[in-house]
Amino acid sequence: MGKETLIEKAGRLIREASNMVALTGAGISTSAGIPDFRSPESGLWNDPEKMFLFTSLGFAHNPGGFYELGRQLLPLFMNARPTNAHLFLARLEEMGRLRCVITQNIDGLHQRAGSKRVLEVHGSLRKGGCIGCQKESLLEEMVRKMEGGEIPPLCDHCKSVIRPNIVLFGEPIPQGVFQEALEELRHCDLLLVIGSSLVVYPVAEMPLTALEHNARLILLNRLPTQYDGLADVVLQMSIEEAVEEIQNTVGSRQ
Give the CA dihedral 76, 79, 85, 90, nearest 10 degrees: 130
Q: What local confidence, expressed as pLDDT, does residue 44 receive?
A: 60
Q: Is the dihedral of CA 7, 13, 18, 19 positive or negative?
A: negative
Name the nearest CA neighbour of 109 among 45, 25, 167.
25
Q: What local confidence, expressed as pLDDT, does residue 34 receive?
A: 87
Gyration radius of the chain's alpha carbons: 19
E strands, the chain, are 20-24, 98-103, 118-120, 123-130, 136-138, 162-166, 190-194, 216-220, 233-235
Q: In Å, what is the CA distance from 251 to each residue of 92, 158, 247?
A: 10, 53, 6
Residues 6+ apart with CB under 8 A from 149: none
Topology of the domain covering 1-34+82-122+172-254: Rossmann fold (3.40.50)
* pTM (predicted TM-score): 0.92
**Angle ∠(23,28,31) on CA atoms, nearest 5:** 175
* Residues listed for the chain: 254
Answer left, alpha or beta for residue 233, where phi above 0 means left and psi between -120 and 50 means alpha. beta
Give the start-to-end residue ranges of the domains of the chain: 1-34+82-122+172-254, 37-79+125-166
Q: Which residues are designated catalytic?
A: 122
**Distance spanning both ends of the chain, measured CA to CA:** 28
Class of domain 37-79+125-166: alpha beta
Q: What local confidence, expressed as pLDDT, does residue 33 receive?
A: 87
Residues 6+ apart with CB under 8 A from 98: 20, 21, 22, 89, 92
Q: What local confidence, expressed as pLDDT, does residue 13 receive?
A: 97
Q: What local confidence, expressed as pLDDT, does residue 169 receive?
A: 86
CB atoms within 10 A of CB 239: 23
Task: State how far the Cα of 159 lies from the Cα of 156, in Å rounded to an integer.
Answer: 6
CB 70 within 8 A of CB 147: no
Across the 254 residues of the chain, what is the mean pLDDT of every consecutive 10-residue run?
82 96 95 74 67 91 93 85 97 96 96 97 93 93 92 94 92 94 97 94 95 98 95 96 92 57
Is-same-fold flag (1-34+82-122+172-254; 37-79+125-166)? no
